[in-house]
């Protein structure tokens, strides 16, 4: 048998292609309009950056005073070493690396692990994460020594997953195809390396943390049976051979960031899911994809990992081919991609619970989801970003009020999904994506709420939302309720859209936007916004006070974002592998985590990661004396040629062998609160 190996496409860090061809204004265009009204010159970067930090729309200045030292640590320098660096007085230790056994027969980690064994182990490429104190009542109260760590496994790097690929010339996204087929157990292993892990961890007498055997330990994967909830449940959009009545599907994929509900469940968000599918339907010799596939980037040739080519031909693998096979949609998988692109709710405390796709939160490249503060008797509000070039920021407002005693996921099944429009005067509005509103009528192709939700991006185009520079994580300041979102970068910004404040043609460095809802009511339909920081090197950046960033604070491509309970803002960076430590992005070194004081605007680098990775996920124990972060895809910068030669850019965390994504536990040597 000839080994006709094919490196399946170069995926560019797993993002989908640009899919927004609507004529909606870009965020840059709006800022440009704002600035031109102020008479700012496009070339006057400094003056214009300063102008942008005027408080917009009369938003009240923050009155709160920090009750503890916000940035009480020495900044760490940028790094290009294959290790974790934390400030003096802190210690970082590794737990839950890819392949650690957590459940079932607890198979020991080995490159030779089978697909089934991977399903009992920690997955690959750790991302969003939460620590649920073991008592299981409240997301941020309870034990600080014992809990369920729940984390996403965003995607995979097949060459580090399979013994069969050792010594081959494989890029980070390549898979092995032999005679047009994929090895079925390798496909199973890849599906089982995706999804979510639930694992009990506890602090030991010596202060370290360790995995505990527990009946709640669980792997949710690309194969786990799930319910489809909300308005799309039972509609023709999701009828498949597997679920002819459109109520169920299998698995969750490309789980990037997450959310934690006020009722103490975990939300996992499906981001770059579209490329996992192909749709080869052809009419009149041309690809014929419905907009619910085309607007998201479902492929017409081979899918990202070519799971549809599994040699076994098993139904759970073949379904990744959404090609229309005849007249009956329940005899093929033309609708399978419509069961993806959602936020999925998981109850980590009930290992038998069936995850539910909450379709009223919309369908797009979900980065994460973050809730506004809850008030008894008021609606629940959740914010979410669509991380793709020129996509949008959304919020969901529940129809029913929150009551702590009875709140559950059904609150997410009824309400209104809105999309954000950022006006040029610093005000903003939330446009409802609901039948009959903002042009969403049957005449315009939106015949029902389900049709709007399956086609959330198209509905937002129609409503006139503002195109953004790749919205990533959101965070809500616990002290004043302001909402912050990272806008990681936008390499496709055109020269004609350049202005000094939102910033450059090819926005390589990204920025962080924030807003305040009118009347501090998260259900409001209007808000005022400004920019918290424009990231970049010293000569092309601005903090809240209008100061350039310094050697202690320069960063690029903000992604993860999280407020701790004291109001300290944690910022994680994701400079893509193709740009890392090169060209304009060389000054930033390896991806890092910084902390910011949202009152003073001061930012300081807290942690740098090993080679080729990004820092993802952040949470502390309730006492804030233990912090957990994830290191994702160390060594991903290894070229295909170097992989073949056995020369890897990272051996983290073991110092030898293949690199492995893992969780890092950070403590202060004096037992103090992290960051103080």
Is there binding between residue 429 and Ca ion (CB under 5 A)? no
Strand partners, 608: 85, 592
Residue 415 near residue 490, CB atoms below 8 Å: no
Closest to ligand FEO by CB, 266 vs 317, is 266
The entry of ligand FEO, Ca ion, none that residue 469 binds, CB within 5 to 8 Å by partner kind: none
What is the CB-side half-sphere exposure of residue 440 using CA atoms within 13 A?
26
Is there binding between residue 154 and ligand FEO (CB under 6 A)? yes
**Rounded distance between C-alpha atoms, residue 273 and residue 254, angstroms:** 6
User: From the CB of 508, what's the least distance to ligand FEO, in Å?
Assistant: 16
User: From the CB of 469, what's the least distance to Ca ion, in Å?
Assistant: 12
User: From the CB of 514, what's the least distance to ligand FEO, in Å?
Assistant: 19
Is there binding between residue 16 and Ca ion (CB under 5 A)? no
What is the CB-side half-sphere exposure of residue 515 using CA atoms within 13 A?
28
Closest to Ca ion by CB, 559 vs 564, is 559
* Given 347, 367, 413, 451, the residue binding ligand FEO (CB under 6 A): 367
Closest to ligand FEO by CB, 387 vs 597, is 387
Please give the residues from 542 up to 601 whose contact with ligand FEO meets the rule CB under 6 A. Answer: 559
Look at the block and give the residue holding tokens 């939102």. 502
Query: What token pair was written down for 125?
Result: 């490429």
Residue 105 near residue 120, CB atoms below 8 Å: yes
User: From the CB of 559, what's the least distance to Ca ion, in Å?
Assistant: 4
H-assigned helices in 295-395? 315-318
Residue 557 near residue 574, CB atoms below 8 Å: yes
Q: What are phi and psi of 559, to 5 degrees?
A: -135, -80
User: From the CB of 616, what's the least distance to ligand FEO, in Å?
Assistant: 8
User: From the CB of 511, what's the least distance to ligand FEO, in Å?
Assistant: 15
Query: What token pair was written down for 365?
Result: 């490249």
What is the CB-side half-sphere exposure of residue 362 using CA atoms within 13 A?
31
User: From the CB of 366, what's the least distance to Ca ion, in Å?
Assistant: 11
**Residue 154 to residues 150, 196, 219: CA-CA distances in angstroms?**
13, 9, 14
Query: What token pair was written down for 11?
Result: 């995926």
Closest to ligand FEO by CB, 347 vs 574, is 574
Residues 6+ apart with CB under 8 A from 39: none
User: From the CB of 343, what's the least distance to ligand FEO, in Å?
Assistant: 14
Closest to ligand FEO by CB, 16 vs 336, is 16
Closest to ligand FEO by CB, 45 vs 267, is 267
The entry of ligand FEO, Ca ion, none that residue 154 binds, CB within 5 to 8 Å by partner kind: ligand FEO
Name the nearest CA neighbour of 147 among 155, 156, 138.
Answer: 138
User: From the CB of 474, what's the least distance to Ca ion, in Å?
Assistant: 12
The entry of Ca ion, ligand FEO, none that residue 271 binds, CB within 5 to 8 Å by partner kind: ligand FEO
Please give the residues from 101 up to 120 whose contact with ligand FEO meets the rule CB under 6 A. Answer: none
What is the CB-side half-sphere exposure of residue 6 using CA atoms within 13 A?
14
Closest to ligand FEO by CB, 119 vs 474, is 474
Query: What token pair was written down for 257?
Result: 């960031």
Long-range contacts of 645-649 (CB under 8 A, 24+ apart): 646/167, 649/82, 649/611, 649/612
Is there binding between residue 157 and ligand FEO (CB under 6 A)? no
User: From the CB of 43, what's the least distance to ligand FEO, in Å?
Assistant: 32
Closest to ligand FEO by CB, 217 vs 254, is 254
Please give the residues from 213 up to 272 whose contact with ligand FEO meets the rule CB under 6 A. Answer: 256, 271
**Rounded distance between C-alpha atoms, residue 378 and residue 200, angstroms:** 33
Closest to Ca ion by CB, 120 vs 569, is 569
Please give the residues from 516 up to 575 whose contact with Ca ion meets the rule CB under 5 A. Answer: 559, 574
Query: What token pair was written down for 284?
Result: 């009149």
Looking at residue 299, the DSSP 8-state letter turns out to be B
**Rounded distance between C-alpha atoms, residue 541 and residue 525, angstroms:** 31
Closest to Ca ion by CB, 183 vs 574, is 574
Query: What token pair was written down for 431?
Result: 């446009």
Is there binding between residue 387 and ligand FEO (CB under 6 A)? yes
Given the rule CB under 5 A, which residues bind Ca ion? 256, 559, 574
By CB under 6 A, name the binding residues for ligand FEO.
154, 256, 271, 367, 387, 472, 559
């Amino acid at each position: 048998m000839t080994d006709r190996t094919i490196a399946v496409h170069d995926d560019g860090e797993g993002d989908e292609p640009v899919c927004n061809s609507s004529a909606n204004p870009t965020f840059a265009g709006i800022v440009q309009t704002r600035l031109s009204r102020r008479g700012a010159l496009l070339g006057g970067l400094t003056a214009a950056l300063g102008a942008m930090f005027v408080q917009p729309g009369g938003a009240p200045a923050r009155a709160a005073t920090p009750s503890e030292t916000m940035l009480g640590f020495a900044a760490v320098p940028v790094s290009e070493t294959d290790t974790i660096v934390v400030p003096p007085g802190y210690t970082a230790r590794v737990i839950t690396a890819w392949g650690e056994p957590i459940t079932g027969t607890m198979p020991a980690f080995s490159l030779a692990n089978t697909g089934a064994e991977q399903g009992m182990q920690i997955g690959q490429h750790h991302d969003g994460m939460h620590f649920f104190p073991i008592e299981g009542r409240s997301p941020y109260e309870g034990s600080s020594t014992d809990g369920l760590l729940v984390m996403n496994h965003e995607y995979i790097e097949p060459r580090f997953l399979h013994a069969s690929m050792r010594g081959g010339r494989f890029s980070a996204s390549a898979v092995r195809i032999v005679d047009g087929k994929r090895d079925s157990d390798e496909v199973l292993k890849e599906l089982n390396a995706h999804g979510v892990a639930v694992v009990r961890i506890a602090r030991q007498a010596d202060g370290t943390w360790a995995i505990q055997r527990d009946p709640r330990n669980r792997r949710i994967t690309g194969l786990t049976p799930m319910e489809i909830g909300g308005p799309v449940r039972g509609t023709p959009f999701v009828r498949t051979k597997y679920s002819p009545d459109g109520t169920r599907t299998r698995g969750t994929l490309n789980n990037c960031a997450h959310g934690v509900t006020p009722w103490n469940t975990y939300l996992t968000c499906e981001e770059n899911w579209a490329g996992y599918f192909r749709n080869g339907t052809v009419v009149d010799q041309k690809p014929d994809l419905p907009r619910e596939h085309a607007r998201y980037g479902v492929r017409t040739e081979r899918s990202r990992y070519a799971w549809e080519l599994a040699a076994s031909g098993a139904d759970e693998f073949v379904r990744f081919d959404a090609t229309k096979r005849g007249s009956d949609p329940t005899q093929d998988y033309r609708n399978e991609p419509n069961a993806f692109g959602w936020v999925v709710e998981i109850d980590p405390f009930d290992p038998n619970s069936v995850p539910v796709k909450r379709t009223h939160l919309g369908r797009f490249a979900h980065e994460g989801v973050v809730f506004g503060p809850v008030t008894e008797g008021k609606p629940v509000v959740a914010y979410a970003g669509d991380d793709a070039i020129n996509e949008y920021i959304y919020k969901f407002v529940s129809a029913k009020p929150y009551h702590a005693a009875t709140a559950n996921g059904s609150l997410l099944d009824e309400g209104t999904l809105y999309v954000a429009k950022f006006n040029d005067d610093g005000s903003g509005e939330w446009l409802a994506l609901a039948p009959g509103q903002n042009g969403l009528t049957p005449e315009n192709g939106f015949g029902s709420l389900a049709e709007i939700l399956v086609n959330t991006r198209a509905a937002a185009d129609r409503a006139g939302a503002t195109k953004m520079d790749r919205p990533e994580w959101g965070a809500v300041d616990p002290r004043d309720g302001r909402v912050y979102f990272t806008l990681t970068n936008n390499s496709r910004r055109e020269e004609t859209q350049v202005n000094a404040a939102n910033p450059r043609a090819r926005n390589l460095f990204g920025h962080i936007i924030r807003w305040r809802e009118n009347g501090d009511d998260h259900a409001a339909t209007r808000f005022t916004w400004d920019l918290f920081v424009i990231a970049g090197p010293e000569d092309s950046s601005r903090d809240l006070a209008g100061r350039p960033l310094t050697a202690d604070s320069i960063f690029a491509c903000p992604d993860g974002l999280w407020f701790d309970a004291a109001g300290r803002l944690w910022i994680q960076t994701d400079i893509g592998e193709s740009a890392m430590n090169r060209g304009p992005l060389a000054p930033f070194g390896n991806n890092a985590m910084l902390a910011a004081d949202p009152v003073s605007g001061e930012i300081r680098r807290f942690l740098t990661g090993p080679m080729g990775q990004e820092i993802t996920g952040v949470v502390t124990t309730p006492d804030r004396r233990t912090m957990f972060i994830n290191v994702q895809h160390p060594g991903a910068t290894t070229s295909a040629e170097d992989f073949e030669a056995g020369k890897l850019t990272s051996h983290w965390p073991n110092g030898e062998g293949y690199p492995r994504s893992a969780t890092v536990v950070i403590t202060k040597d004096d037992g103090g609160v992290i960051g103080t």
